[in-house]
Structure 1
């Protein structure tokens, strides 16, 4: 994601001269060295950015990614767990080990590891490799594998001058290519650039709201939470009660998908933003909700989009639903909202450790103490039991690769409707979704008063 990439590039000089001889023995060098400079993916000739294009056809990145072998994915998850470990100060983390694990995964064609390696190389962290040319080559390798996000990253490199001769013109051509291929980060970036009422190229925005909306909705459908921050402006434009409610709901979706921006905006809204001028989205001040969104925003800012909170409605449902009682511990708030999994029990004879273990260690996933009795439900029915539910479509469904994620969950109250994929801009019928109950409902105290329970 763009936020993950750019956080490692703060303070980087715009142009750096690299000696080719320093890279001669590297594996990635040997993958590309046979090409002439004009044939390198970084110099791909692309159509110029067309801000006034007439249409945009949504493409999903997950449907076009190369397969990842289990061992490479395990190394990647182990590196991610070390990198995101919230209990270790960043300077004390084993960056050499993190780099090594990412490199091992990248050398077995793990595309996310390639992009993370590139970010580490360009960042301010003490990793073994600091040559910008190496970062460019890892991104080029991912581009050769057809990874849309890699084309987006190359656009960032052109924009920042990390690629020799790169500038805004070549950068936007790469962003456009990436968005058309299915990169959610490129779609969100260009969607924001086109979300304007007039053209101002020198400031990086143009008037093309119809295409902006399609790009942002496509990005959000792929799980890119920050797209919701821009969609809120579009949805609320009419300032009707219905428009404002739609804007609030999309911001809530953005928080579930890890957007600190959306959480911060909702915190401000419930704290009284725009109450005096009539532009408030929520229409009332609710300090308790503002406080919870504010604390969640701080945590999501640290995770930079990697932490998802699909069960946010368990701790922070939108009005008029009452807030469950909270013990004031931020960890309780986050743990109850994040994705959960049944107990992880990897047998000693297993060829590879369960990758969920790394997700749990990194704080992205919470393991339940006990697995609930099996309970499944068609997505078109009312929810038969309060708690956390996991969703899946059949593996033969055209959008299975996109929809069947480990964090595709929701906290649903008994008698309520399950989330409709079409409301999430996905062409999936509610009846195609099978929901599995994972348990973890809130605890009732007295009468209709509930408290957050893990």
Structure 2
């Protein structure tokens, strides 16, 4: 655990160098990724879900160093959606394993467990140090979390903005919206507009709603929507449609990677648009690869797992 001096240092040190976590993440095992993607597919299906079955596939992927599967598995275990002989122990064992591998997100996960006292002794001060460590290592979620804390720290605006931007550039939609909001308060309207656009690409419905309001051409006295833009009814309509789409599909993690093809920022001319979205088209046409019985047996045997649960063979079934 970090000592007191490290904890104090984490928040007194008002400086930040943007690091993207991709620079330190290992290449995922391709066979394990089949299990992860199938688990994710099952988890996103409508209707009643078999979370124990989903956890089974996540477990097999996680034990083969699939850090994304480990994160999702921890969530199912810690929220009680999937059964385990000892959910808190299994969760903490996972996060400690991935901390040892140097995964930024694992530090972020441990920070939350320390904050809540889940599976470990509650230690809010230590959790803050883990959050800061994760942010410095490149976790976008940690960067957003620390930026939120810094909103109440005097003379920390530059670091806060840098963390929001770093997280935004890695796909954190909330960070993009907060970055845009803060730039708007500073009357840096062009930068705010660009950040809202990035946040929308990352799936933020509220940013799309904000730009729909901004393109109505409100007066400068309108603190909520004014961005110094001319009225553009077609852009209002498109951003409104995008906001509705993202709201309806938020639970599925919808994004708009083709945003600049739908509604590019001025002075670009609006192209024709058929009202569809790349994310939805790709999702609707995607056919999941189901792990074969042979692959399940193979990956389970390699790590001594019960193929029916993904748990170690020496562990009693839940």
TM-score by length of 1: 0.55
Give the Cα separation in 2 of the matches to 1:185 and 1:300: 21
Give the Cα separation in 2 of the matches to 1:157 and 1:119: 11
For structure 2, which runs of at least 5 residues remain unmatched after alignment?
A: 296-318
Kept after mapping to 1: 8 A contact 2:205/2:247: yes
Corresponding position: 1:68 with 2:17: no
Give the Cα separation in 2 of the matches to 1:132 and 1:311: 40
Give the Cα separation in 2 of the matches to 1:133 and 1:63: 30
Shift of 1:45: 4.2
Kept after mapping to 1: 8 A contact 2:203/2:256: yes
Number of paired residues?
282
Corresponding position: 1:225 with 2:184: no
Change (3 A) 1:137 1:271: farther
Change (3 A) 1:300 1:224: farther
CA deviations 1:213-252 (Å, max 9, x no partner) are 222222222222222112113322332xxx2122111111
Give the Cα separation in 2 of the matches to 1:338 and 1:277: 42
Change (3 A) 1:300 1:180: farther
Give the Cα separation in 2 of the matches to 1:110 and 1:224: 21
Shift of 1:56: 1.1
Change (3 A) 1:62 1:53: same
Show the 5 A alignment for 1:36-435. Answer: 43-45=1-3, 47-49=6-8, 50-85=10-45, 88-89=46-47, 92-128=48-84, 131-196=87-152, 199=153, 206-239=154-187, 243-270=188-215, 275=219, 277-279=221-223, 280-281=226-227, 283=229, 284=231, 286=233, 287-303=236-252, 306-319=253-266, 321-322=269-270, 324-326=272-274, 332-333=276-277, 335=279
Change (3 A) 1:319 1:148: same
Give the number of the structure whose residues are more often helix, by fraction.
2
TM-score by length of 2: 0.76
Give the number of the structure whose residues are more often strand, by fraction.
1
Kept after mapping to 2: 8 A contact 1:102/1:117: yes
Calculate the aligned-residue CA RMSD, in Å: 3.2
Give the Cα separation in 2 of the matches to 1:221 and 1:112: 19
For structure 1, which runs of at least 5 residues remain unmatched after alignment?
A: 1-42, 200-205, 353-454
SS of alignment partner, residue 138 of structure 1? helix
Shift of 1:210: 1.4
Change (3 A) 1:209 1:338: farther
